[in-house]
Amino acid sequence: MAWPIFRTEGVTKVYDTGEVQVHALAGVDLTLFAGELAVLLGPSGSGKSTLLNILGGLDRASSGHVWFRDTDLTALRERGLTRFRRDHVGFVFQFYNLVPSLSARENVQLVTDVAREPMPPEEALGLVGLSHRMDHFPAEMSGGEQQRVAIARAIAKRPEVLLCDEPTGALDSKTGIQVLEALKDINDRFGTTTVVITHNAAIRKMAHRVVRFQDGRITEVEVNETRLAPHEIVW
Binding site for Mg ion (CB under 5 A): 49
Smallest gap from Cβ 191 to Mg ion, in A, equals: 26
How far is it, in rounded angstroms, from Cα 207 to Cα 194?
Answer: 9
Smallest gap from Cβ 154 to Mg ion, in A, equals: 17
Binding segment (CB under 6 A) for ligand ATP, from list 41-49, 70-78, 104-112, 137-145: 41-49
82 lies in the site for another protein, by CB under 8 A: yes
How far is it, in rounded angstroms, from Cα 24 to Cα 26?
Answer: 7
21 lies in the site for ligand ATP, by CB under 6 A: no
48 lies in the site for ligand ATP, by CB under 6 A: yes
227 lies in the site for another protein, by CB under 8 A: no
Total residues contacting ligand ATP (rule CB under 6 A)? 12
Q: E-strand spans in the chain?
A: 4-16, 21-33, 37-41, 63-68, 71-72, 89-92, 161-165, 193-197, 209-214, 217-223
97 lies in the site for another protein, by CB under 8 A: yes
Instruction: Choose, by CB under 6 A, the member of 3, 17, 18, 78 that binds ligand ATP.
Output: 17
170 lies in the site for another protein, by CB under 8 A: no
105: amino acid identity, one letter: R
29 lies in the site for another protein, by CB under 8 A: no
Compose the 38-57 pattern: x for residues touching another protein by CB under 8 A, - for all others: ---------------x--x-
How far is it, in rounded angstroms, from Cα 150 to Cα 117?
Answer: 18
- Cβ proximity to ligand ATP, 108 vs 179, nearer residue: 179
Smallest gap from Cβ 218 to another protein, in A, equals: 20
Return the number of other C-beta atoms located less than 10 Å from residue 161's C-beta.
Answer: 20
Query: Mind spelling out the 3-state secondary structure of 65-92?
Result: EEEECCEEHHHCCHHHHHHHHHHHEEEE
Q: Which residues are at the interface with another protein (CB under 8 A)?
A: 53, 56, 58-59, 78-79, 82-83, 85-87, 91, 93, 95, 97, 99, 101-102, 106-107, 109-111, 113-115, 153, 157
Q: Which residues are at the interface with ligand ATP (CB under 6 A)?
A: 15, 17, 22, 24, 42, 44-50
